[in-house]
Amino acid sequence: MRIALILTVFFLLPQYAVSQGEEEAMRLYASGSYESAIALIGSNETSESDPALLKLKADCFQKTGEAELALEYYDRSRLLGYRGDDLFLNRGICKTALGYYDPARQDISQFLEKNPEDARAYYWLGTVEYFQMDNKASVRYLDEAIWYDSTYAAAYFLRASNYAEQGKNLIALEDFMQAYTLDSSLTRAKLHAAALMLDMERYRNAIELLSELKLEGADVAPEAMYYLGEARYRMHDQEGACLEWSEGASLGDIDAAENYRRLCVVRSGKPKFKRRTFGQF
């Protein structure tokens, strides 16, 4: 089962002389004010016939999660004469989000032809192959991405996801930890590393990582408490497991709540262990 990747996407912006209105819209885009940028572009009388503004509007819609609208504006921008290479990469990312994998591959490959050392193109081709369940092809592209940018945290994360799905737990663990080292906001990389440690029966190492996530109050803390419960249960510490599952349940983790009910309240039956999925940030 493929889990939708939750990614921070850095789009390319055009490098040419721009009007004052377009410059302000680009400033709003760069600051994360995407809806304000869309409104400003919409107020421009020439926006519907200006390919650069249409492309920028598409970028904004992509950022707000409105991929269908983004694709519409990318296509209109291209038809009206936008010729920047950046459109192909950004539109390819948009098509990937929509599940249009073959057209996405065509766009990203066209960008790559003129930008053969751009790590992002290899990363997104690796993403397309991942979603099409070709782990080997995905890894090949991600190897290239990391070759051109050894600090590309998302590429290490996705390569780790591929390795984990292939059962290559040790190298997957290394890549998840490298992703977290490069970008500490990728707390799920650390969580996945701990889950792999559980599968490798390295319970104390897993508890150490999970306890750190819990103490840090990370966004994945409820899941970390579930895994802490699993680790303690596997070490025959049912009381400790119940404490962790109780806390995880109070924070909304469904699996922690189920195990707390089964083993700590009803005190019958077997624990329900989370199915391992590694493709979500």
Question: Whose CA is closest to 152, among 172, 178, 126?
Answer: 178
- pLDDT tens digits along 9-53: 555 555 444 566 688 899 999 999 999 999 999 887 777 889 999
State the Cα–Cα distance between residues 66 and 64, nearest whole angstrom.
6
Apex 85 CA angle, 81 and 87, nearest 5: 65
Q: What is the pTM of this model?
A: 0.88
State the Cα–Cα distance between residues 178 and 186, nearest whole angstrom.
10
**Cβ–Cβ < 8 Å for 55, 83:** no
pLDDT band at 271 (very low <50, low <70, confident <90, very high): low
Fold of the domain built from segment(s) 186-281: 1.25.40
Q: What is the mean pLDDT of the chain?
A: 90
- pLDDT tens digits along 140-191: 999 999 999 999 999 999 999 999 999 999 999 999 999 999 999 999 999 9
- Domain ranges within the chain, ordered by starting residue: 186-281
